[in-house]
Structure 1
Amino acid sequence: MSNLGEQSLTQFTDKLLSKKIFTCAVCENLLNIPIILIQNIGNVCNECCQKNNWEGLPNPALEMILNELKIPCKFQITGCKERMIFENLREHENNCKFHEKPCLMAHEGCEWKGIQNNFPGHFIDFHSEHVLTNQYGLFAIDMNIEEAVNITKLLKGKQECIIKIKRDVQDDILLYTICDVKNIECNYECFIKHMGKNGNCVETQCKVSSLNNINTTHVNLTALRQMTEASDVITIQIKICTSCESKEFDEKILHYFECPVCKTLMKPPIYQCKFGHSFCSNCRPKLEKCPNCRALFGTTRNYSLEGLTASISYSCMYHHLGCEETLSVNESDKHEAVCPFKPYPCPLDECSFRGTHSTIGDHLDQQHKDKVIAADFYKTTVEFRLEQMIDFYNYQQKFYMVFDENIFRLSFKRNSDYSFWAVEVLRKKDEDSVFIYDIGIIDMRKPDRKLIRCDLCFTDTNCEDLFKKCILFPNNILASYACNGMFTYYCQIRKRQ
């Protein structure tokens, strides 16, 4: 029955499209949202409406119907069979492998147009003089960098890639574009070596992109001439390798990045003693003398080693626990903060449980239900008598708030003069997220009367500093909100937009 319903909906959609119900009355393309109804013209897309400075009425009914339908890709005529809801259609069509595109030799007069899968065959048949073949993925191209450079080559090795090299005379740079001609998702890297006189060279590394998501790498020609001592002709050596081959290279190099103290991989900033022994930024403050040569430390950094970190991939620091991710130095810290294999001890002092990013939330919910609030809002009433504050000196409570895979600790502390509230982020679903917490004091005699303050949630803050920067209220002010020796407060946690 569901197949019949799906078939009927497809037929209904095709019928509406054939009657041009969802076609812009001006450009005759598929309408996009918002749909504008123009008197004496009909439904038009937002682009046409703005282009003609028209004023019309919104058509929400048509928008709602459009959002419910599965629209066929506009490239179905060239072979695409995909149908999808409207909000995903444009992204698919931008990356559709059945999208006809002109030949990359159009600048030389080629008028061919076709889909991505047919491009390598066309290039080999009609532009064979521009095809370089090497089973190991190693290629060489001679180039005069003082002339108007516009080179396009098909590189046939383990993969098939197009390389375009163009000289920008105005900015005096070389522009490299390297893309896989078959795959939408690429996992290759390209190492380009510019060879000049006396063996001098300049190396550049770039990712191989897809034809739908082309990236360009810039090389400064002035610096290139100086480094290679070349005034005209240089040889460009190109090596294309998969990430697996690159990983083997990285593993050999990473041995030199191991901190001799903690045995973890060093990342910028990297410090060294006066004899060149390097140490990570975590160990350096703990050392008075170099453990290798006993020399005193200064503030010298190993910038050469730091510069190399941008060219290699780091294994996740939790690889021994099962994580197989390898990332650039800029990405590794973000990943490791939320790595699913990262060990998480239970935040309750009396509990010895150690879990992972995915299990710690379930542990808190199952074993510590009385101290866990499964929401971003918590409201409670506590005892409060100003004349008895001396008896509550350093009184403290802790609660744990869990929502959307994020874990927070709410700490409430009171002494004779002040009441303090602090919220710490113990686990984030997304490392880039920043959270804010609101503390509201409610006068239960007049619920509309509230005292509210907000602040950023804490991360990686020690116990001594926690209550030095948090939200606090003087107890003599809280007394005016108390009723029958009790006062009510709430905590609301929200993501900063």
Structure 2
Amino acid sequence: MESTNGTKPTDPVPQDAPPHRCQQCSSRIVALHYPIDKHGKNGGVDMEKRVTENWVIRRRSRQQRQTNQDLFKMLAPPEALPHLKCSACTKHLSYFPVYVSQNSESTKLGTLCGRCSENLIVNERNYVRDTLYETMAQFIKFPCIYHSEGCIESLIPADVPNHERNCPYRIISCALDCVWQGTVHELCTHIEDTHQNVLIRNGEFEMDILNSYETYSFLVHEDEIFNLKRKYNSTDKIFTCSLFSYKVLDTVTNHYYEVTVFNGNRNLSVKFPLRRAENFKEDNVTVIDVEKVKRQLDDPSIIIGSIRIFTLDNQKEEKPTPKNPYTELELSMLNELECPVCFEYMIPPIFQCDGGHSICSNCKSQIKECPTCKEEIDDTHNFALEKMAQLIHYRCKFNELGCNYRAKPDEMKQHQTFCLFGPHQCPLKDYENCKWAHAAKEIYPHIVSKHHENLLEIDHVQVFMGDDYLTQEEDLCYIKKFSDALFKLHYRFSQNCFYWSMQLIGPPDEARKYRFEIDVLDNTNSNQKIFLRNFCAPLTDKNETFNQDSPHVFLKLEQIQPLLTDQLNYFIRIIK
């Protein structure tokens, strides 16, 4: 299309081109209309090139301004840091607002940082906000106040408050009745060493609903440490709990927790809404009406609380349904192996009544007649069923509590004697008449809290021998921790012999992976020593400890007497 003056109009600026503006009025230029010279260029100038160059220059200018702002965020000069400190706490003036004294009577406090002005009552007549300092210091990067503890971060004042609240190197105090102070990284070691009895490893606890109390415990979830606060008011019958996160590894992710309570049989439960596992504020507290819950749980004798910790991202993920590890044939065979009394799968030996009904060995010892036909139960084995049982893999009877172990009958029988998910009696029950029974992972905290005098924390053992010691018998028992395993040391003096046995409190098939050594020391300074070594043994009852087929060591009195005075001294070691 031709214009009235015989020239072609210029094309409008493409839509994706940078915005162009008039140099006189700064209005946006939508199309370029300049006279075309004889060379075919606008006014002798390539305007498309000119506008593009101007846009690039303006863009560089914006980038330069941003670069200048970044340059303003400079590290505080080391020589200036000693002079930029709060008069009250002597920490850097990196926490706003900053107040300066304008009264000669307040000069002893001089300048206050935001940390102290939050805690102190700042009288406006004596203090004014130092806005000029804040304007200049807002671009300065200060070292973290926990620099001496290992933090290498340098931050501008706007980022300081949040960082100091969550710095992994911040100094904290132990939440319990304890004088310990240290970094968050050191807290886990402190808990393991000092507060094993309040460390809840599986997220479960028994609710004490008799007397009023307020107590604190620790939980560890994916290497993050949480402080659990539990409180019970016996007057109102209200139980509350909340979680505080120490943010050891991740200072950003917000954790949530969910409380579920069960009755003792775990066949009834009540679940409570999600709460944030960040602090003990009221909004994050789970409130439980105990009387109402007891009715929902059919008035149980004990109530078990369970805490699950997660992030919302984890909560949204759908867990795939686990594949059934059993074939239809195996399931059919397992159904045939169900005991009609205890409803658990029968493991050989399997007995049968005169009418042909089968029963497991545990139930046979407790009843005299068949529950199905009332016929007498003799010692008749169901050999056909026992042979069939050897062909399949059983699942652990504690499967519903979380155990996924599968094995053939012999291995399963051994496994179930010390499944980590099953109930276990106190290992000192034969010595201390203790009736405690709980999951295997709770044994060590129980020993620490209830039987600390039986906990062998060093390798040296002293036995005091009075005048009539050799005319009597003595049995002693200690619990010793080696690596992540627990062991039970039996000592016996009987019939002029000294006996020692070390038993693994764990899976029996792992006992022979460990050995124990005993060095009997010379108390007469004759520079003699007796060395003994043997395999560790599986856990047994007290009266079976020194059976001939159970690993142990012993010395006769005539062998050891030259080393004795009024004491027997020996070192005990476990090796793997």
TM-score relative to the length of structure 1: 0.42
- Larger strand percent: 1
> Which of these two proteins has the greater Rg computed from alpha carbons?
2
**TM-score (norm. length: structure 2):** 0.37
